[in-house]
Chain A
Amino acid sequence: QKEVEQDPGPLSVPEGAIVSLNCTYSNSAFQYFMWYRQYSRKGPELLMYTYSSGNKEDGRFTAQVDKSSKYISLFIRDSQPSDSATYLCATYTGNQFYFGTGTSLTVIP
């Protein structure tokens, strides 16, 4: 079993839609959970991170962690064509880092 599982999509939505991206993880010791955005042929860039359980909001983006079910989510409100990218979830413990395979998102104008 992989440490982090992520549905690869692809996901295609109309502009203005609410997008939900999800991952599951296996190790209850994970405390930090990150979301990265990766445009085609570019390096990942950190969108936001959360520590332990709960929600964190940053503009149109909300990250949510449910430690009881080992489930992490990223919600994008009022999605824009510029949000079209691959979204990677990630976590770590100690100095070992684990990334999901990424979900490809296309927002259609």
Chain B
Amino acid sequence: NAGVTQTPKFRVLKTGQSMTLLCAQDMNHEYMYWYRQDPGMGLRLIHYSVGEGTTAKGEVPDGYNVSRLKKQNFLLGLESAAPSQTSVYFCASSRQGAANEQFFGPGTRLTVL
């Protein structure tokens, strides 16, 4: 039982490049979330999904897109990376109706030059 896994662990991009971060969970959770964590800002919700085929905006969605084609996977895309998107990205999942019990992945460290 791996829990929540994230791919890749590290990535360096140049401004304007695109990339996709993959999150996978094996707990059969309905809800999945993408956060970014920046010094002095804490964790901020980017997008979330309450089930396969659904997505919704969080607190800081601009510059990101997401897709939930399969229940166990939640993808975060950056179409044209900017230095302001340099951050640590965390994916999380939870059971339906238990958003207070989120399980987090190990994070992806992204640097945009």
Which residues from chain A sit less than 8 Å from chain B, CB to CB? Answer: 4, 6, 8, 32, 34, 36, 41-46, 49, 51, 88, 90, 92, 95-102
- Nearest A residue to B43 by beta-carbon distance? A99
Partner of B103, one of A4, A41, A46, A49: A46
- The residue of chain A having its C-beta at the shortest distance from the C-beta of B56 within the complex is A95
CB-CB < 8 A to B101: which residues of A?
46, 49
**Chain B residues within 8 Å of A, Cβ to Cβ:** 4, 33, 35, 40-45, 48, 50, 56, 58-59, 90, 92, 99-107
Q: For B102, list chain A residues within 8 Å (CB).
A: 46
Residues from chain A with a CB closer than 8 A to the CB of B99 are: 32, 92, 95, 97
Whether the Cβ atoms of A42 and B43 lie closer than 8 Å is no
Whether the pair B100, A95 counts as a contact (CB closer than 8 A) is: no
Residues of A within 8 A of B92 (CB): 43
A-B contact count (CB 8 A): 55
Closest to B39 in A: A101
Check B100 against A32 for contact (C-beta < 8 Å).
Answer: yes
Which residue from A46, A49, A96, A100 sits with its C-beta under 8 Å from B59?
A: A96
Least Cβ–Cβ distance between B7 and chain A, in angstroms: 14
CB distance from B93 to the nearest CB of A (A): 11
Residues of B contacting A102 in the complex (Cβ-Cβ under 8 angstroms) = 42
12 A-B residue pairings within 8 Å (CB atoms): A36-B104, A41-B107, A43-B106, A44-B90, A45-B103, A45-B104, A51-B100, A92-B99, A92-B100, A95-B48, A96-B45, A99-B43
The closest CB in chain B to the CB of A3 belongs to: B59
B106 touches A44 (CB 8 A): no
Are A43 and B104 in contact (CB-based, < 8 A)? Answer: yes
Q: Which residues of A sit under 8 angstroms from B48, Cβ to Cβ?
A: 95
Whole-angstrom CA separation of A88 from B90 in the bound complex: 14
Residue on A nearest B91 in the bound complex, by CB: A43
